Structure 1
Amino acid sequence: MSQSLNLKGALQQPVVVLQGLVLPVILLVLWQYNSGLGSSHAYAFVPLQNIYFAFLQLLETGELWLNTWGSLKKAGLGFLLGSTAGLILGALLAYSKVFNALVSPLFNSIRQVPLLGLTPLIALWFGNGEEAKIFIIALASFFPLVINTFQGLSHYDEKYSEVARMYRFSFWHEFKRIRLPQALPHILTGLNLAVPFTWITTTASELLFNAGAGLGNLMMKAEINAEMDILLVCA
């Protein structure tokens, strides 16, 4: 009986994978069909073979590697700085009522402002170089970590605190053995949210501050030169 169930599950798995490929294949076919309807359509819907050849060209010249590495470096550094600062601030907000009362109103006000709306001010502070991009990227990962760390550390089962007091746990012992394990799912959720925000903001910051290596910079050059195939490779 168990063998038949295992066989059924093994047969269903490829079917599920194939079902997931149906819509992408249909979209690719429609895209290729539209690209053959005329020059105006071919500009908006670049033929798939042109995109493939542009990809190979970028690989050969090394532009794709150089700009991808440039984007990954900025994204990694911004994510590290932003998430670390977010963890620290979230913990301080959860543990100190005085600090929470002082900082929380300002924090909640700033996080309502769209990140890209801060670019003029950031450009004034940091210029148009790498520092400005990294600062915006750090902010993208900062806010999800603050909110989720605060929620994880401030909402916990009180009975565990009673146990900690009974056994006279130190602050760090209680934090390590009780608070942190309970907060970990919230923190991981914050990190999960921060990763896509970080990558999207990386490309957006490169489009806004068009200097240095990065996929956003390569996309901007491709748009200026009307090289839609290269733009789609970078996207």
Structure 2
Amino acid sequence: MTEKNTHFGTVSAVLRRWRGLLLPLVLIGVWQYTSGLSATHAYAFVPLQEVGHTLVLLIESGELWINFYGSLERTGVGLLLGIVVGIGLGLLMYYSRVVLLLVNPLYNAIRQVPLLGLTPLIGLWLGNGDEAKVFIIALAAFYPMVLNTYEGLRNVDNRFREVGHIYHFTRWQQFRLVLWPAALPGIVTGLLLAIPFAWITCIGSELLFNAGAGLGNLMMTAEASARMDIILICALVVTLLGVAMNYAVMRLGNYVLRWRGAAL
């Protein structure tokens, strides 16, 4: 009886671990079934074997790698700039009343405007090259990092602050040993928000600024030639990249915040 219970417990644990794949597998099955209903359905829902064949051709020709690295480099640079500047401004807003009064109204007003709605204006300023694309991506990462840094510091529990006062910490020690560790969960949350925003704006900017290598550019070319298989491959690659970066940040956050005893 014990062995039977152990077996069922093991199976149950495996099912719980992989249950997140259930819905994607169902959707893949529905997609493949729908693609075989008619020629019209096969155009809208490209058969998986055709997608696989096209993927092999794109890899062998190097076209996928060139556009993959173009988007990844662009997103990485923009994300890094947005994170650094966003955290810096969040710190300034917290520590300087003057900066808060001057910047906060403008920040809250501008972040209400959809980023891709600013694309024509940014294009007039910076052209349609990498500078404009990286700027839009950085702006997408900048917004959540400013907000989460500032709110993370502002909402630190007063009991933690009192500990610093009891030990007569200097301002730097108060920040390094009390405020920054307590604000880190909010900052990590900002990072998790910045990653999908960065990828959305990367692909959007590449679609609108159709110059240079990038997955968005490849999708535009595929749309012009009615290549649904290539569009699907690009969308899947972006999804996998976003998931991988999100997973890496979660692992890093769990390591840095291991003192909390709870996973993100």
TM range (shorter): over 0.9
Provide, for residues 75-103 of structure 1, a one-character-per-residue CA deviation record: whole Å limited to 9, x for no partner: 10000000101001111111112211111
* SS of the residue 1:169 aligns to: coil
Distance 1:183 1:18, change over 3 A: closer
Q: CA deviation at 1:205?
A: 1.1
Aligned to 2:62: 62
* Aligned-partner Cα distance in 2 for 1:11–1:109: 52
* Aligned-partner Cα distance in 2 for 1:232–1:145: 31
* Aligned-partner Cα distance in 2 for 1:13–1:20: 13
* SS of the residue 1:179 aligns to: helix
Q: CA deviation at 1:33?
A: 2.2
Higher relative contact order (CA 8 A, sep 6+): 1
Aligned to 1:71: 71
Letter in 2 for 1:140: A
Moved more, 17-26 or 31-40: 17-26
Aligned to 2:207: 207
Letter in 1 for 2:12: Q
Residue ranges of structure 2 left out of the alignment (5+ in a row): 236-264
Letter in 2 for 1:118: L
Aligned to 2:32: 32
Aligned to 1:140: 140
> 1:226 and 2:226 equivalent?
yes
Residue ranges of structure 1 left out of the alignment (5+ in a row): none
Alignment of 1:90-101 (within 5 A): 90-101=90-101
Moved more, 33-42 or 130-139: 33-42
Q: CA deviation at 1:211?
A: 0.7
Provide, for residues 34-70 of structure 1, a one-character-per-residue CA deviation record: whole Å limited to 9, x for no partner: 2222222211111111101000000000111111111
Q: CA deviation at 1:17?
A: 4.7
Moved more, 29-38 or 65-74: 29-38
Moved more, 23-32 or 214-223: 23-32
Question: What RMSD over aligned residues (CA atoms) do the two structures have, in Å?
Answer: 2.0
* SS of the residue 2:30 aligns to: helix
> 1:171 and 2:179 equivalent?
no
Aligned to 1:151: 151
> 1:160 and 2:160 equivalent?
yes
Task: Tell me the matched-pair count.
Answer: 235
Moved more, 108-117 or 31-40: 31-40
* Aligned-partner Cα distance in 2 for 1:129–1:199: 17
For the 8 Å contact 1:67–1:214, the answer to whether it is kept is yes
TM-score (norm 1): 0.93
> 1:114 and 2:132 equivalent?
no
* Aligned-partner Cα distance in 2 for 1:193–1:225: 34
Distance 1:62 1:174, change over 3 A: same
Moved more, 180-189 or 7-16: 7-16
TM-score (norm 2): 0.83
Aligned to 1:127: 127
